[in-house]
Structure formats: C-alpha cells, structure tokens
Amino acid sequence: MGVELLEALKTQDKYRKLFHAWSNREFGRQEKEEKFIQELREFSEKVGVKDNLIVGSFDYRDFSLAFFTDNIFDVSGLPAEYFKRYGLEATMSMFHHEDREEVLKFQKMNIDTYDSLSLNEKKTFGASYTYRWIHRLTGEEIWQQTSIVPFMTDENGNIILDLQICMRLNAPPDPAKFHWEFHYTADNGALIKMAKQFEDVAKNKLSKREYEVAQLIVNGVQASDIAKELGISPNTLVTHRKNIMKKLKINSSLELVRIMMHKS
C-alpha cells in the first residue's frame, strides 16, 4: 500500500487546499484538550468498543488523530502507530480508490456548509457517510458508516476536535455505493437534512456543455481554468453560469454543489 500513496495524498493541491485551509485559520480561545480527550476515553469505554466499532477524533489544527481506540488494527490491518504517525493521510489511504474522491467532495461540502451556519446552527450540526475500507492484510472490502459531530470548538464555533464513531456494517448498503448525509437545526427551528441522491437532477436539466461547466465549478476549478479547459471565452463562461443558475433556480456555487450532489 505503501509510501507512494501517502506521498501522493500529501502533495495533491486539492487535498491541501481542502483540509489545511481550515487549519490555517485563526482559532479563538481554546480550552485544554486533555479534558476532552479524557471524555472520549470514558465514552469509548462506556459504549464498549468491539471489532465492529471505532471511536476517534481529528485535531483540526493540524489534522492529526487526537484520539482513536486501539482496535483500529482489527478493521484496517495496520498498527495504531501508522495512524498516529500519518494522521489524516493514513485514514485517506484506507478508503477504496473509488470512494476516496467522493470523500474529498463530501468533506469540502461539509466544511463549506458548516462555515456558512450561525453559531447556534453549528451547535446542532452532524453528518455521516457510508464507504468502503480495504483491509490491508486480507484485501477485504469492509463497508462502514461513520457519524461525525463537532466535539471541541472555539467561541466562534470553529471545530478544534471532532467526535467520529465508525461502525462496521454486517452487509453492504442498498444501493452498494458511497453515501452521505448531514443535518442541523436552522435558526427558525426547521430541521435541515441533506443526503446524497443517486439520480442526477442537474444532468436532466442542463445542456451537455452547461453540465461540464457545473462539474468543474463543483470540483473547485477556477473560472480562468474552466474557460481554458473547455476552449471557451470568459464571456461565454459567464453566460453558461447564468443559464445554470437560472435553470436550477439557485444563486450560488454552494447551492450548485447541493443540487448536483444531494437532495433536501
């Protein structure tokens, strides 16, 4: 599985921009994380982690693993020291190659959505996703579902530590594809829940060229690079973007991501 994959993950521009843009922000007042780590230990002991359950936490200041239960070897086939050393890169290397790209898109949307919420809305935010890990000793595809909530934040709601509960599924989901959802309670009291849809709504409403533009926007490609890749002028790109927004009845790129990747 090797060092090559780890190095590739660490040097991909989209990987750095997605995750480390968060860690470069100014964090406000922070409580001592030792208290929260102890709470995680007590929580994992209370739920009684077994071969099919992992409790973990990422530190969003450097994306190291702040905590995880020792039974991670049973699911991954890799020693705990591997995850302690490589942190987020180690976790990303475990995903099935078809799911890894989906995880990156999901995490980007997750962070963008969380950042757009009010402080009270952030306090109610949670997410989950279903994916495949590859056991590094047996080569077995293992379906898992991970639930994520902010666990330790600063006074502005910036996540410092999260809580992740990873549960092994006894059977593949139906359909057997990468899936995700997130939810929060809006300031007006409404429960907002978003989930991946398997029917491509945008593809049914947009022209072929508009759909190509929409995909590149969702993937974070800059406007100048989109025009260059598709061989169109900046003015034509602006026209395509206006048509996309009009046909899908949206006003922003974030809404475009939601339309193309999930249903409300």
- Domain locations in the chain as residue ranges: 2-190, 201-263
Sorting pLDDT into bands at 50, 70 and 90, what band is 264? very low
Lowest mean pLDDT among 15-24, 113-122, 212-221: 15-24
- Residue 242 pLDDT: 94
- Residue 13 pLDDT: 47
Distance, CA of 216 to CA of 202 (rounded, Å): 13
Sorting pLDDT into bands at 50, 70 and 90, what band is 15? low
Instruction: Kindly report, residue by residue over 18-68, the tens digit of the pLDDT.
Output: 666 677 777 777 777 888 889 888 888 877 666 678 899 998 888 888 999
Q: In what order do the strands lie in the sheet with 179-185?
A: 64-68, 53-59, 159-168, 141-153, 126-134, 179-185, 191-196, 262-263
Instruction: Kindly report, residue by residue over 216-253, the tens digit of the pLDDT.
Output: 988 778 899 999 999 999 999 999 999 999 998 888 88
| Nearest Cα residue to 217 out of 258, 178, 177 | 258
Long-range contacts of 113-121 (CB under 8 A, 24+ apart): 113/182, 113/194, 113/254, 114/150, 114/159, 116/254, 117/157, 117/184, 118/187, 119/156, 119/157, 120/187, 121/184, 121/185, 121/186, 121/187
CB-CB contact of 136 with 173 (8 Å): no
Sorting pLDDT into bands at 50, 70 and 90, what band is 263? very low
- Residue 1 pLDDT: 46
**Exposed/middle/buried for residue 190 (C-beta within 10 Å: 0-12, 13-18, 19+):** exposed
Taking the domain 201-263, which CATH number applies?
Answer: 1.10.10.10
Superfamily of domain 2-190 in the CATH hierarchy: PAS domain (3.30.450.20)
Whether omega before 175 lies within 30 degrees of 0, making that bond cis, reads: yes
Q: Is the pLDDT of residue 99 over 80?
A: yes
Average confidence (pLDDT) over 142-154: 94
